[in-house]
Amino acid sequence: MLRQFRNCRILRNHEIVRDDIWVRDGKVVDPEKIFFDEKIQADVQIDCQDAIVAPGFIELQINGAFGIDFSYNSEDIENGVNTIAKGLLQHGVTAFCPTLVTSPKSTYAKVMPKIKRRKGDENGATILGLHIEGPFINTQKKGAHPPEFIRSFDEGFKSLLDVYGDLSDVSIITLAPELENSLDVIKKLKSENIVVSVGHSMGNLKDGEAAVRSGASFITHLFNAMLPFHHRDPGLVGLLASDNIPEGRTVYFGIIADGIHTHPAALRIAYRAHPAGLVLVTDAISAMGLEEGQHNIGQFAVEIRDRKAFVAGTETLCGSIATMNECVQILHKATGCPKEFALEAASLHPASVLGITDKKGTLNFGADADFVFLNDDLDLISTWIAGKCVYSRV
């Protein structure tokens, strides 16, 4: 079936332009070929009512939502994944990487085989593979990760396989680059087409640069769980302006624009220093979409107080409860960036991290027809996967 989406403003090639979108077999198609080669009309016309149509949001770091935590609710993980995948549609997320925090080895054995890559539809967003955050991190920057389960690369890559087992459905691994044998591990992961992200680290700038030269390409939640910026050694934050990055390589960084984890001034600094690398992540926990109270993230009890998530009984932040749509709006407001940029930070940029921009993160011809309708305030109107409406606010 050939669908024509008309009366809309499309985000394409970094600009919002007035045009139609044509969709067939779940893909965005070139209307010129339809007009001049096939000489046919659309089977269905959809009036977008002047909405902004942008690529669907892609979430690279989400620990849980709607009362479910990927690491904690391991006994019924299939139903938990389905619940989250379905719920994310109401926030414009059409694809995501379920994220596991530092956990006992038994948790990885239970959970990882049960979270497989799969295509999205009306039942939930696409699963792009797992993001494994830990346990190969620095105990001094553990955040909400339980220290008793943090590991080192004593036996190099073998240590990693011993904890995770099969890596076939893993897309991203967060590790601390200063750990002994980490560079060899990074090189091996790169050869396996797994994105390496540096984070939860005491690493200095040289550690970060060495990791990037070895194949790392992402920074986990910039500013959080890493050494603070210092003018003599800016730490991993310095990767945003390093001149020791291989030519042609982009270092991407996740940033939590929830209005809590990252001050608006810090958002502006990151945006102005290295806009091409900015990737919005929520780092959301099980309390996303729930009321204030006590919940879990991995092996920790957490409390939601004043729209903030803390390790229970402490003042340690342990993930956000913001949605991706909210993060887009906060980034736009805090930095004054164009709407186009804020939307691409949640779509094109994360797709670039994973190397899937031929399919996701754009509305170019041949891409998957995953998109969102938004109003001029960037409020979500509806979510579409493969050209079919999977959520509508009305």
Residues 25, 35: Cα–Cα separation, whole Å: 17
Alpha carbons within 13 angstroms on the beta-carbon side of residue 247 total: 0
Residues 339, 332: Cα–Cα separation, whole Å: 6
Residues 344, 356: Cα–Cα separation, whole Å: 14
2-54+365-392 and 57-354: identical CATH topology = no
Cβ proximity of 335 and 271 under 8 Å: yes
Residues 138, 115: Cα–Cα separation, whole Å: 26
Q: Is 102 exposed, middle or buried (0-12, 13-18, 19+ CB in 10 A)?
A: buried
Residues 252, 361: Cα–Cα separation, whole Å: 15
Q: What is the pLDDT of residue 257?
A: 97
Rounded average pLDDT over 21-35? 93
Residues 131, 141: Cα–Cα separation, whole Å: 18
CATH code: domain 2-54+365-392 is 2.30.40.10
CA distances 191 to 36, 168, 236, Å, are: 44, 13, 23
User: What percentage of the chain carries pLDDT values higher than 90?
Assistant: 84
pLDDT over threshold 80, residue 154: yes
For helices 264-273 and 324-335, give the axis angle rounded to 10 degrees: 80
Rounded average pLDDT over 85-109? 97
Length of the chain: 394
Strands 252-256 and 278-281: parallel
pLDDT tens-digit profile of 299-333?
678 888 887 888 888 888 777 889 999 999 999 99
Residues 52, 373: Cα–Cα separation, whole Å: 6
Q: Which residues pair with 131 in a beta bridge?
A: 99, 172
User: 43 falls in which pLDDT band (50, 70, 90)?
Assistant: very high
Domain ranges (residues) in the chain: 2-54+365-392, 57-354
Tokens of 269: 């600094």
Residues 329, 345: Cα–Cα separation, whole Å: 11
- Mean of the per-residue pLDDT values of the chain: 94
Residues labelled catalytic: 283
CA distances 345 to 39, 60, 166, 328, Å, are: 37, 11, 31, 8
Q: Which residue has the higher pLDDT, 289 or 151?
A: 151
Residues 37, 35: Cα–Cα separation, whole Å: 6
pLDDT over threshold 80, residue 296: no
Residues 292, 8: Cα–Cα separation, whole Å: 38
Residue 107 main-chain phi, psi, to 5 deg: -65, -45
CA distances 246 to 243, 250, 368, 388, Å, are: 8, 9, 31, 41
Tokens of 303: 């409390």
Q: Is 365 exposed, middle or buried (0-12, 13-18, 19+ CB in 10 A)?
A: middle
Q: Which residues pair with 28 in a beta bridge?
A: 23
Q: Which residue has the higher pLDDT, 301 or 364?
A: 364
Q: What is the pLDDT of residue 298?
A: 64
Range 57-354: architecture per CATH = Alpha-Beta Barrel (3.20)
Cβ proximity of 123 and 106 under 8 Å: no
